[in-house]
Structure 1
Amino acid sequence: MAYRVGVIGGGQLARMMVPPAVHLGIEISVLAETEGSSARLAATRVGDYHDVDVVLDFARGVDVVTFDHEHVPQPVLAALVEAGVEVHPGPAALAVAQDKIVMRERLTALGLPIPDWAAVHDAAGLEAFLADHGGRAVVKTARGGYDGKGVRVVSGAHDADDWFAALADGGSGGALLVEELVEFRRELSQLVARRPSGQIVPWPVVETVQRDGVCAEVFAPAPSSAGRVADVADDIARTVAERLGVTGVLAVELFETTDERLLINELAMRPHNTGHWTIDGSVTSQFEQHLRAVLDLPLGDTGCHRPHSVMVNVLGGPTTGTMADRLPALMLDQPAVKVHDYGKEPRPGRKVGHVTVIGDDLDESVFRARAAVEFFTE
């Protein structure tokens, strides 16, 4: 039989699902937002994922619909389910990923470890939270923020007045999320995959390095994580996946605090930047595993090929030309480095690709990965 997967969203995550789909004989189609998208090789249609008719027409030719991002509106998701389309992850799980306040409410109800938080509607509410939390906090827009967007550290009641005004102008009557400013030692990410029939398989917990709110580097496995840290991170991610009914790949971003706790920062219900190392460093990549999971096929081994994998994002890209122009020089200088070009035009701060180095020595692997990125950013 032929398996047919439809991916809504034409970004690099959809692009990186294409090779494992080809290897497994899966027919993959992409509903892209624009012509020339990162996933253009598999983009069978360009259309607006907000349009129910467009999405339903796209879904008629596939067995299951999954996603490159979490932004498809709930009414569109509901229409897919009503039409009998398999949707993974499902609308109920995606609703938690789409709204950070809903996410905090659900995680609180499940008794999972998260920063202290509140939903605030105005400066007075923010002032009250600041008064109870040492005068500084993190404010986040409930929807739409990613890669450092929609996140702000505040120390005054009026530091988010523009966001409150935007909520009022939009007539949404919504709120902002405010959280305690966590003292953390480092940031971690735990990825797991879950099938609709219940099987869950984790990867090793990884350490992430953020720059300006954007993931810049990933070390897998996270140094000094064997034992308690790995066990707690695994247990948290499994609990989230099971209790929220997540299907496909789930990323749970975590703070490791200075007082030895692990707190959930964010959730992503799709392949994630912190799992890109798995393409080269793991027996089964997150992209192959996601396809297996949403089709309810047995999940693959997630063991590591080498003791260390280091992934470094190419942010912005070269000041002249493209990554492809610089590729021959890198290949000659570092033949063991694995390069992933997202087919995007360079732009300051934009993720245009990544490199991965796997090896037996962490410091050497980090050095080689950082040196490789310099070929594409100078």
Structure 2
Amino acid sequence: MALRVGVIGAGQLARMMIAPAVELGLEISVLAEAENMSAALAATQVGDYRDEQTVRQFATTVDVITFDHEHVPQSVLRALENDGVRVHPGPDALQYAQDKLVMRQRLAELGIPQPEWARVATTTELDAFIAEHGGRAVVKTPRGGYDGKGVRVVTAAAEAAEWFEALADGDALLAEELVPFVRELAQQVARRPSGEMAVYPIVETVQRDGVCAEVLAPAPRAGERLAEATAHIGTAIAQGLGVTGMLAVELFETDDQRILVNELAMRPHNSGHWSQDGAITGQFEQHLRAVADLPLGETTPLREWSVMVNILGGPEDGTMAERLPLALGDQPGVKVHTYGKAPRPGRKVGHVTAVGDDLDDTVFAARAAANHFA
């Protein structure tokens, strides 16, 4: 009987696990928040991922649980564990992707390089942190933020006053130094329950309005020393936090050549979309191998360069389907991945990947294909 994998969350990440699941002979089901979500191509149960009984019932239909996002409450994850369900990544690991304060504390214990930070429960504490760090700081809500949400650069605590007012007793915000970075990088690592790990090449990510717009793989100007350093950081975090599945470590490269950890994601991630068409084993297949405790695949790139460009917003006129023939005809060497989502300003509705042996030509091809969906 085929191993049954349950994915909580039915967004584009779950959608892109379907094809490799079929190829691996795995059965995949998803628990969706609503009808007609991106992963409706798979057998879908609709229910609230925050409701313990709903999730526990879904778990009875599969052999292992994994995730499309990090938002399933710890109480629900612990209930699954108590039921004997295989959960990857488990709650002990996932807590570090769910709460940025918990993450910062644990990374400090592991000796992982990261920005200077502080737990700030009052405006007085935040103003003191700002004064100690050159008059500016990054303030974050510890839980729930993504794609630039829940993040502000401030010069005074008053600029985050409503966040402080919304805090429950005992809660706090995260303050970080404003890092003088020259570019953003990402390191992906896969780890299976047995402890086997596989490391992907370090990539450069290009952000626009807090959202990942492009990924260059491998990161240009990434010498052997940088690649070794980021691989060490990624594997140390995967091992130290007990991650199972894909781990994406978002990094800053600073103007004084430091490498600092920004954030973590314990699932397939935007920074790894290039690997679908640019590596021997793409991140979605690798994630399924890891959570099913199958031997991990090679991560070697297929060509010298891979470039991923996100399709953000989608066409102002017409549909994605109407634009698809134009993109494919103009750039027949580019792969287009659509998410089955209606266009909406700023929304990730798909991505394209191009591979080649010349970086400029590869970037041009990926951008040209993506522009057909603007």
Q: Secondary structure in 1 aligned to 2:92?
A: helix
Per the alignment, residue 105 of structure 1 pairs with 105
Question: Does the Cα contact within 8 Å between 1:193 and 1:289 map onto a contact in 2?
Answer: yes
User: Deviation at 1:134?
Assistant: 0.3
Q: Secondary structure in 1 aligned to 2:128?
A: helix
User: Deviation at 1:226?
Assistant: 2.7
Q: State the distance in 2 between where 1:187 and 1:19 align.
A: 30
Give the count of matched residue pairs.
374
Per the alignment, residue 271 of structure 2 pairs with 274
Identity of aligned residues (%): 67
Q: State the distance in 1 between where 2:307 and 2:45 align.
A: 35
How far does the alpha carbon of each residue in 1:91-113 deviate from its partner, in whole angstroms, 9 at most, with x for none? 00001110000000100111110
Question: Does the Cα contact within 8 Å between 2:331 and 2:368 map onto a contact in 1?
Answer: no
How far does the alpha carbon of each residue in 1:17-73 deviate from its partner, in whole angstroms, 9 at most, with x for none? 000001111000000111010001114200000111110111111110000001000
> Runs of 4 or more off by more than 3 Å in structure 1?
none
Q: Which amino acid aligns with 2:339?
A: Y
Alignment pair present for 1:240 and 2:240: no
Question: Does the Cα contact within 8 Å between 1:215 and 1:313 map onto a contact in 2?
Answer: yes
Q: Which amino acid aligns with 2:173?
A: L
Q: Which amino acid aligns with 1:292?
A: R
Q: State the distance in 2 between where 1:174 and 1:347 align.
A: 34
Q: State the distance in 2 between where 1:173 and 1:316 align.
A: 39
User: Deviation at 1:152?
Assistant: 0.4
Candidates 296, 305, 310, aligned match of 1:308? 305
Q: State the distance in 2 between where 1:361 and 1:241 align.
A: 33
Q: Which amino acid aligns with 2:79?
A: A
Q: Secondary structure in 1 aligned to 2:157?
A: coil
Per the alignment, residue 37 of structure 2 pairs with 37
Q: CA RMSD in A?
A: 0.8
Q: State the distance in 2 between where 1:92 and 1:12 align.
A: 25
Q: State the distance in 1 between where 2:223 and 2:18 align.
A: 33
- Please list, as runs of the form range in 1=range in 2, the aligned pairs for 1:33-182 lying within 5 A after superposition: 33-167=33-167, 171-182=168-179
Q: State the distance in 1 between where 2:258 and 2:283 align.
A: 27
Q: Which amino acid aligns with 1:11?
A: G
User: Deviation at 1:245?
Assistant: 0.2
Q: TM-score scaled to structure 2, two decimals? A: 0.99
Q: Secondary structure in 1 aligned to 2:340?
A: coil
Per the alignment, residue 291 of structure 1 pairs with 288
Question: Does the Cα contact within 8 Å between 1:100 and 1:143 map onto a contact in 2?
Answer: yes
Alignment pair present for 1:326 and 2:323: yes
User: Deviation at 1:321?
Assistant: 2.2
- Please list, as runs of the form range in 1=range in 2, the aligned pairs for 1:164-203 lying within 5 A after superposition: 164-167=164-167, 171-203=168-200
Per the alignment, residue 26 of structure 1 pairs with 26
Q: Any unmatched runs of 5+ in structure 2?
A: none
Q: Which amino acid aligns with 1:326?
A: R
Q: Secondary structure in 1 aligned to 2:159?
A: coil
Q: Which amino acid aligns with 2:101?
A: I
Q: State the distance in 2 between where 1:264 and 1:61 align.
A: 37
Q: State the distance in 2 between where 1:225 and 1:329 align.
A: 35
Q: State the distance in 2 between where 1:249 and 1:240 align.
A: 12
Q: Any unmatched runs of 5+ in structure 1?
A: none
User: Deviation at 1:295?
Assistant: 0.9
Per the alignment, residue 204 of structure 1 pairs with 201
User: Deviation at 1:174?
Assistant: 1.2
Q: State the distance in 2 between where 1:43 and 1:284 align.
A: 25
Q: State the distance in 1 between where 2:260 and 2:220 align.
A: 18
Q: Which amino acid aligns with 1:307?
A: E
Question: Does the Cα contact within 8 Å between 1:32 and 1:43 map onto a contact in 2?
Answer: no
Q: State the distance in 2 between where 1:111 and 1:328 align.
A: 50
How far does the alpha carbon of each residue in 1:138-191 deviate from its partner, in whole angstroms, 9 at most, with x for none? 011000000010000001121100111122xxx353111010000011100000
Q: Which amino acid aligns with 2:57?
A: D
Question: Does the Cα contact within 8 Å between 1:10 and 1:43 map onto a contact in 2?
Answer: no
Q: State the distance in 2 between where 1:54 and 1:159 align.
A: 39
User: Deviation at 1:324?
Assistant: 1.1
Question: Does the Cα contact within 8 Å between 2:328 and 2:369 map onto a contact in 1?
Answer: no
Q: State the distance in 2 between where 1:244 and 1:332 align.
A: 45
Question: Does the Cα contact within 8 Å between 1:355 and 1:369 map onto a contact in 2?
Answer: yes
Q: State the distance in 2 between where 1:25 and 1:265 align.
A: 36
Per the alignment, residue 252 of structure 2 pairs with 255
Question: Does the Cα contact within 8 Å between 1:183 and 1:258 map onto a contact in 2?
Answer: yes
Structure-2 change in CA distance of 1:234 and 1:58 (3 Å): same
Q: Secondary structure in 2 aligned to 1:193?
A: strand
